[in-house]
Amino acid sequence: MAVSLLSHELSDLCLGKPALRSLSITSTIAEALEVLKTSDDNFVSIWNCDDDECCSRCVGKVCIVDVICYLCKDENLVSPSIALKQPVSLLLPKIPGLIIHVEPSCSLLEAIDLILEGAQNLVVPIKTTVFNNKRSKQQQKPFCWLTQEDIIRFLLSSIGLFSPISSFSIDTLNIISPNTLTIEYHSPASAAIGAISRALVEQTSVAVVDSENTLIGEISPFTLACCDETVAAALKTLSSMDLMAYIDCGGPPEELVKVVSAKLKEKNMNGMLQHFTVSMSCGGFSSSSSSDEEYSSSSMAVQVSPFPRPGRISRSMSYSARMVRRSEAIVCHPKSSLVAVMIQAIAHRVNYVWVIEEDCSLVGIVTFSDMLKVVRESFETMA
């Protein structure tokens, strides 16, 4: 069984994966935004297209969170319509190695090593079979990409091979990182913009805590990716606690919409105010309404969810369905087993799980990358 697992190639993991939706690096941010709003995926791949298709390469990826953070710059809030006409290349992080092209024959071990070296997406050509005159030949046409989540999900199907390590606690395995991105709940949400950008790159999140380091909730790129670009206005005008209520349950409460509008007007951000007002009049990013009463209870309630909740919406659904996501934090405890944390993250479609004590004080975070390090080390004894 162990030998069989180690012999897998990435082509085995690509079965059933959809072809990438792609954009040329010469496209505008507005064009990328339009694709993202109609896509089932949170990201769109950006390609450096060449006259020779064989030389085209995926050079990065963008999501709505990139657009939101970009629009949060003061000069862009003044005139978002002009800002959105700029090339999408402005959104790409300047970090090499986040996107790596690999062959379908690349081994599972090689893929894990690439991810541990910093790769987030492995771009793999999809093999298609063309039948002509009763003869078939392999043609490499579209591409798909594999993520850390894909690798973890695949490994879970053979988790028994990693016994007893899979049953060890994350504390015992020493994979709890104390290096977390945090912001106090009463602080302006704008103070978290840099942390949100970093969390997007690191595939983590920003913890919202109180003065005693109790975990209240989170401002997650995974949740923001299900909103629209006008959340930039809320990020610049609300507190962290109010922002959680704003993006919670799929749509902003009317009272917070009024607060955002008033503060935009107060700061003479007329361009964003107009953009924001038009968006809200069309229903904003919500497919459902939220009452003032819902805002009152949401903004005061603790958002931590110690156990998986079955009502959470999968991001693999349509754009309108994916918008209904909560800003609650997915948490575990230091004594939680590795396999339990892996399943919890997979179930909630996130790349990390917060670690808290019984009193909800924040201990740290466990990421897919941390989990893969343990799995990779165990491979050494299986080979």
Sign of CA dihedral 274, 276, 277, 281: positive
Percent of the chain past pLDDT 70, that is, above it, reads: 80
Question: Could you give the CA distance from residue 383 to residue 367 in angstroms, rounded to a whole number?
Answer: 25
Tell me the domains of the chain and their CATH numbers: 1-130+137-161 (3.10.580.10), 182-281+326-382 (3.10.580.10)
Q: Single out the residue of 265, 284, 283, 255 nearest to residue 77, CA to CA.
A: 265
Read off the pLDDT band of 282 (50, 70, 90): confident
Question: Could you give the CA distance from residue 93 to residue 191 in angstroms, rounded to a whole number?
Answer: 20
Q: What is the pLDDT of residues 215-224, one digit of tens each?
A: 999 999 999 9
Read off the pLDDT band of 286 (50, 70, 90): very low
Q: What is the pLDDT of residues 339-365, one digit of tens each?
A: 999 999 999 999 999 999 999 999 999
Read off the pLDDT band of 4 (50, 70, 90): low
Q: What angle (nearest 5°) sits at the alpha carbon of residue 353, between those of residues 352 and 357?
A: 150
Q: What is the pLDDT of residues 34-52, one digit of tens each?
A: 999 988 889 999 999 754 5
DSSP assigned state of 42: S
Q: What angle (nearest 5°) sits at the alpha carbon of residue 99, between those of residues 93 and 103?
A: 170
Question: Could you give the CA distance from residue 291 to residue 175 in angstroms, rounded to a whole number?
Answer: 41
DSSP string, 235-254: HHHSBHHHHHHHHGGGS--H
Read off the pLDDT band of 126 (50, 70, 90): confident
**Residues paired with 188 in a beta bridge:** 239
Q: What is the pLDDT of residues 87-99, one digit of tens each?
A: 999 999 989 999 9
- What is the pTM assigned to this prediction? 0.84
Q: Which of 123-127, 189-193, 320-324 has the lowest mean pLDDT?
A: 320-324
Round the average pLDDT of the chain to a whole number and report it: 84
Q: What is the pLDDT of residues 245-276, one digit of tens each?
A: 999 865 788 999 999 999 999 988 889 999 88
Q: What is the pLDDT of residues 295-330, one digit of tens each?
A: 443 333 334 443 332 222 333 333 333 334 456 799
Average pLDDT value for residue range 15-42: 92
DSSP string, 285-339: T-SS---HHHHHHHHHS--EESS--TTPPPTTS-HHHHT----PEEEE-TT-BHH
Q: What is the pLDDT of residues 152-173, one digit of tens each?
A: 999 998 888 788 899 999 999 9
Q: Which of 75-84, 114-123, 132-141, 303-312 has the lowest mean pLDDT?
A: 303-312
DSSP string, 353-372: EEEE-TT-BEEEEEEHHHHH
Strands (E), the chain: 22-24, 43-48, 57-63, 99-101, 121-132, 135-146, 181-184, 206-209, 215-219, 304-305, 329-332, 352-356, 362-367
